[in-house]
Amino acid sequence: MDNRKNLVGRTSTEIGELLARHVDHGYRGRQVAQWIIDRNASSFVEMTDLPLAMRRELETRFIIEEPEVLEVVSSTDGSSKYLFALSDGVGIEGVAMREGLKATFCLSSQAGCAVGCTFCVTGAIGAGRNLLPSEIVGQYRAMLRRTETDIERVNIVFMGMGEPLLNTENLGPTLAVLSERVSPKRITVSTAGILPGISWLAGLEKRPKLAVSLNAPDQDRRQRIMPIARRYPLDQLMPALREFPLERGRRITFEYVLIDGFNDAVEDAVATAHLIRGIPAKVNLIPLNEDRRHLPELKRPPAEVVNRFAAALRDTGLTVTVRWSKGEDVAAACGQLRQRQTVR
Which residues are 211's β-sheet partners? 190, 253
Cα distance between residue 87 and residue 91, in whole Å? 9
Read off the pLDDT of residues 262-320 as tens digits, 9 standing for 90 and up. 999 999 999 999 999 999 999 999 999 876 665 668 899 999 999 999 999 999 999 99
Cα distance between residue 316 and residue 216, in whole Å? 17
Residue 123 is predicted with a pLDDT of 67
Q: What DSSP assignment string belongs to 60-108?
A: HHEE----EEEEEEE-TTS-EEEEEE-TTSBEEEEEEEEETTEEEEE--
Cα distance between residue 240 and residue 242, in whole Å? 5
Cα distance between residue 144 and residue 96, in whole Å? 9
Go through the chain and tell me how many residues it has: 344
Is it the case that residue 112 has pLDDT exceeding 50? yes
Going edge to edge, which strands form the sheet with 91-99?
68-74, 80-85, 91-99, 102-106, 154-158, 187-191, 209-213, 252-258, 281-287, 319-322
Mean pLDDT for the stretch of residues 198-215? 97
Residue 245 is predicted with a pLDDT of 96
Residue 293 is predicted with a pLDDT of 60
Nearest-CA neighbor of 96 among 337, 320, 273, 304?
A: 337
SS3 label, residue 121: helix
Read off the pLDDT of residues 118-172 as tens digits, 9 standing for 90 and up. 888 776 677 789 999 999 999 999 999 998 777 778 999 999 999 999 999 999 9
Average pLDDT, the chain: 90
Read off the pLDDT of residues 2-59 as tens digits, 9 standing for 90 and up. 789 999 999 999 999 999 988 888 899 999 999 999 999 999 999 999 999 999 999 9
Residue 326 is predicted with a pLDDT of 52
Buried/exposed code over 22-46 (b: 16+ C-beta within 10 A; e: otherwise): ebeeeebbbbbbbbbbeebbbebee
> Three-state secondary structure along 213-239?
ECCCCCHHHHHHHCHHHHCCCHHHHHH
Residue 120 is predicted with a pLDDT of 86
Instruction: Classify domain 5-63 at the CATH topology level.
Output: DNA polymerase; domain 1 (1.10.150)
SS3 label, residue 125: helix
Catalytic amino acids? 93, 334
Residue 200 is predicted with a pLDDT of 98
% pLDDT > 70, the chain: 92
Read off the pLDDT of residues 46-95 as tens digits, 9 standing for 90 and up. 999 999 999 999 999 999 999 999 999 988 887 899 999 999 989 999 99
Read off the pLDDT of residues 318-338 as tens digits, 9 standing for 90 and up. 999 998 765 444 444 454 444
CA–centroid distance for 304 within its chain:
30
The neighbour count for residue 293, using CB atoms within 10 Å, is: 10
Residue 336 is predicted with a pLDDT of 43
Rounded (10°) angle between helices 133-146 and 168-178: 40
Identify the band that residue 114 occupies on the pLDDT scale cut at 50, 70 and 90.
Answer: confident
Domain boundaries, the chain: 5-63, 68-330
Residue 330 is predicted with a pLDDT of 45
SS3 helix, strand, coil % of the chain, rounded to 5?
A: 40, 20, 40
> Three-state secondary structure along 274-314?
HHCCCCCEEEEEEECCCECCCECCCCCCCHHHHHHHHHHHH
The neighbour count for residue 228, using CB atoms within 10 Å, is: 21
Q: What is the CATH number of domain 68-330?
A: 3.20.20.70
